[in-house]
Chain A
Amino acid sequence: MHSDHPTITFLISTVTFLVSLHLPARFVNGQSGFQFEQNTPWISTPNIHYHMGVDGISLWLVVLTTFLVPFCVLISWKSIHERVKEFFILMLLLETAMIGVFMALDLFLFYFFWEATLIPMALLIGMYGHERKIYAAVKFFLYTMVASVFMLAAILWLYAKTGTFDFVAIQQAIQGGQVAGFTGAATLLFLGFFIAFAVKVPLFPLHTWLPDAHVEAPTAGSVLLAGVLLKMGTYGLLRFNLGLFPEQARQNAPWIITLAIIGIIYGALVAMVQPNMKKLIAYSSVSHLGFVVLGTFSFTQAGIDGAVYQMLNHGISTGALFMLAGILYERRHTYDLKEFGGLATPMPVYATFFLVITLSSIGLPLMNGFVGEFLILSGAFQARAVYGVLAASGVIWSACYMLWMYQKVFYGNVTVPVNNSLPDLNGRERTALWPMALLALIMGVWPMAWMDSIDATVARVVPVLSGAPVSAHSIPATNEIEKPNVAEVSGR
């Protein structure tokens, strides 16, 4: 059945992307506060404003979102056969909500967009997924929904005490000590936000929805889930948990970092034994996102810089991996690694793209993953050497499982005869993959293009967190070996 829906959606999302490029083009690095702000009153009781804006942290996440959607459309062009119109409607709704999450500066608006991402994503999984789609969709929905209720409770508490939802106003009120009863409630509030974000990230042991959701989701769903939705969790941790509750973040950092490191290692080990390609990539996300959380809670310039950068990297590389998995699924209707082997012969171009992305994902120097992981690890070492040591082992594991998978799929002889006649990438698929691969390379050799704006924003966040002034512009601040975070807190 021929239809114009993909074409129209592709055009819309491409225009959105092009328009979104004016954000980095006109962004003023180092300017304090948010930029491109829009603040219009919406509802007077409760006091809700349509308050949007970006800083160096959210800027690139918005662009990442608008960048990925057109490729998701390209990749779904032929794979959706029924209810095509609905599919693309849901995709654009999802894009709106995702951009909203990254830009909202009003806590209510943020919560609204946060919830709004849930419905289209759950429907994408449940309507267009594979065999166990309903189970996966419901699990996804309930996990996120239940967790975000706690965030809503925390938001309501803040509103009840401050009379505003405005992020900046609440932040100032907390810093100025003007919120009555804050000391008593702060830890609960921190946890309220934390649990919502931790499920989304997902942080071990709240990750169990992710493999199911990924395996069952259609390709475009997986790409956006891994590429953008998971980043909503790490973005939330950075923006709200660190932004609003720096002291509680410091108090709770040890166990959060412990969970992150468990996630890094556990995710990698589980990925290693997966017989299913998509599940393997899903568990690798658990591991990679553990790095992001680790960097965030290291409270160092390098760590947080790396965390933000790694969010973008993971969006590109894992997004591309899911696209590649989807391309293979379209040809063979299976993700089972046993079904493949020796694919490098019939599909050389595909194998090359897969290799580039694999290398980016395992963090080979000159690829984007290296920059992010290096920064995070150096931040972790600064925070505590043992964090760095343990997390660094994750890098080795990721090389193991990714290369192992690559070997199983592409090397050796073709074991399943039908694979001999698999067509290589067509023009549409190449169009979708070229930018991804190029970007993985460019982000690896020229990170400063992104880092300048990230670094300046993070530089203003870090001093508040560590409670001590940090040299303003530097990537790894090597003079501080170990921050006495924990000792400082216990002395309080």
Chain B
Amino acid sequence: MSPIPSIDYIRILPEIILIVFGTIVMMADPLFDDHNDRKSLGVVSAIGVIAAIAATIYQSAPRFHGDGFFNMVRVDAFSIFFHMVVLLVALASILMSFEYLSVQHLKHGEYYGLILYGAVGMGLMASATELVLIFIALEISSISTYVLAGFRRKHAESTESSVKYFLLGSFATAFFLYGVALMFGATGSTQVDTIAAALKNGAPTLAYVAVALMCVGLGFKVAAAPFHTWTPDVYEGAPAPVVGLMSTAPKAAAFAVLLRVLFGTGAPGWFWMIWVTAALSMTIGNLGALVQSNVKRMLAYSSIAHAGYLLVAFAAVKNLENGISAAIFYAASYAAMNVGAFAVVSHFASAGEKYVQIDDYAGLGRRAPVLAGVLTVFLLSLIGIPITGGFFAKFYVFSAALRSSLIWLTIIGVVNSAIGAYYYLRIIVMMYMREPQTEAEVPAVPFGLALALSMSLVATIYLGVLPNRVLGYALQSARDLLR
């Protein structure tokens, strides 16, 4: 076996940095006494993520592009794009957790460590080109999120959330692994390019089964219907900043894997499966969200719906570049607006996550005008109102679908976005048009949260006003993926 060239280590540099920082945080945690709120560990983790972002930017130089570690990882525009999404979300989540952890009396440093480790898995999911490595990355990311979901361990619903997520999640990963095994049986390889070469001359029946199984596993991870049932309970119970993280970063990474598996290998026979999943997710997500009274549950159903919109772009197969770049753009803008929305939700929830009912938002426009204004922007973006990222995300997806003549799927999607407007609007109506029910003071926004909020706000509006640059990266990523 030939020695590993040193350039390969640069191809996993962000992951190395994250592991180092994660381990530092884990080791340093016992050195603090029980009353310390571990803010310094949070700062260390934030620095770690920033370093990883810097490493990703460093990686983006053309000379580092290419395969490493015996064709197991690949650095290209695609992996860099998803690395940036994942890392920025992780950074925002860490920043918004500073205050959350001390308010909720969760003084444990491993929280930050787990976010960093999770980011390692998600990063690898974006760059892995070998199914077993993808599986391992998926597990790394999932296990961190299982633990994070149960972090409010004194609250029954948080524990329930964690256990439910863990049991169903392991089951889903087993499906994925089974699919990987069958794919190996069908093509004799687990490397994406080799599989693609093998499938080029007609696919055996086994490959169809393999693709279906892998789609089931990934469908669970992205919370697409009919594999979505865990989502509302898990999101309701998990700590709010963690929900902000896990509804975006692991999801984006799972979409990256799905793109890699479906398009990188030229896998057969998934078109109608994705079509139906997209239609179902949009419809179930939106209809489910209509009747929720808990904001976190509502946003859970909304995230199911958004997974559906995103999958519409997958079905736009007549113009692959267009469809894939639309999906990638959607993942990025959904991450921006959803993290932002959860940042507000987690700040407003207060100790013990007391205020998470929609009714609690009554009069927020008067009690905390800035916070309410920012949340309004995120909600408008989730509806898909122009000059927000959410608009262009939907726009690219639906126009890609129309170009592939997916008239019915587009109609279902458009009708769904109209339904969706209703429940997002309900919160805005609550905030501005109802009288406050309590006089409870909304705590001032601390620095970390303000930073996280401004990051997502700037991103949401930037993507809505000047989407060209990011769309350009998304197109480049799509080209790299299809190469």
- A residues near B, CB below 8 A? 43-46, 83, 108, 111-112, 115-116, 119, 123, 126-127, 133-134, 137-138, 141-142, 145-146, 149-150, 152-153, 156-157, 159-160
Contact = CB atoms under 8 A, between A and B. Distances in A.
B386 A115 contact: yes
B414 A119 contact: no
Nearest to A43: B468
Given A46-B395, A156-B398, A111 B386 contact: yes
Contacts of A150: 414
Contact of B418 (A127, A145, A156): A145
A126 B466 contact: no
A83 B385 CA distance: 25
Given A111-B386, A138-B425, 17 more contacts: A45-B471, A46-B399, A115-B385, A126-B432, A134-B429, A134-B433, A141-B421, A141-B425, A142-B421, A142-B422, A142-B425, A150-B414, A156-B399, A156-B402, A156-B410, A157-B402, A160-B403
Interface in B430-445: 432-434
Name B's interface SS. helix
Count class of interface residues, chain B:
20 to 34
Contact of B399 (A43, A149, A159): A159
Give the most central of B399, B403, B429, B434: most A CB within 10 Å: B429
Contacts of B396: 46
Contacts of A43: 466-468
The 3 closest A-B pairs by CB, nearest first: A126-B433, A112-B386, A160-B402
B54 interface: no
B402 A45 contact: no
A160 B400 CA distance: 9
A138 to B, nearest CB: 6
A153 B401 CA distance: 12
Contacts of B7: none
A116 B396 CA distance: 20
Given A153-B411, A156-B399, A146 B418 contact: yes
Most buried by A among B385, B402, B433, B466: B433
Contacts of B421: 141-142, 145-146
A195 to B, nearest CB: 12
B434 A134 contact: yes
A489 B42 CA distance: 72
A60 to B, nearest CB: 27
A142 B383 CA distance: 12
A150 B414 CA distance: 8
Contacts of A146: 418, 421
Contacts of B386: 108, 111-112, 115-116
A417 B426 CA distance: 43
Pick the most buried of A44, A142, A156: most chain B CB atoms within 10 A of its CB: A156
B61 interface: no
B458 interface: no
A40 to B, nearest CB: 14
A448 to B, nearest CB: 39
B372 to A, nearest CB: 11
24 contacts: A43-B468, A45-B468, A112-B386, A116-B386, A119-B380, A119-B385, A126-B433, A127-B432, A134-B429, A134-B433, A138-B429, A141-B425, A142-B421, A142-B422, A145-B418, A146-B421, A149-B414, A149-B415, A149-B418, A153-B414, A156-B395, A156-B399, A157-B402, A160-B402
Nearest to B365: A127
A43 B391 CA distance: 14
A137 B433 contact: yes
A229 B471 CA distance: 34
A137 B422 CA distance: 12
Nearest to B416: A149
B410 to A, nearest CB: 7
B387 interface: yes
Interface string B316-331: 0000000000000000
A90 B380 CA distance: 16
A153 B402 CA distance: 9
A216 to B, nearest CB: 11
Contacts of B434: 134
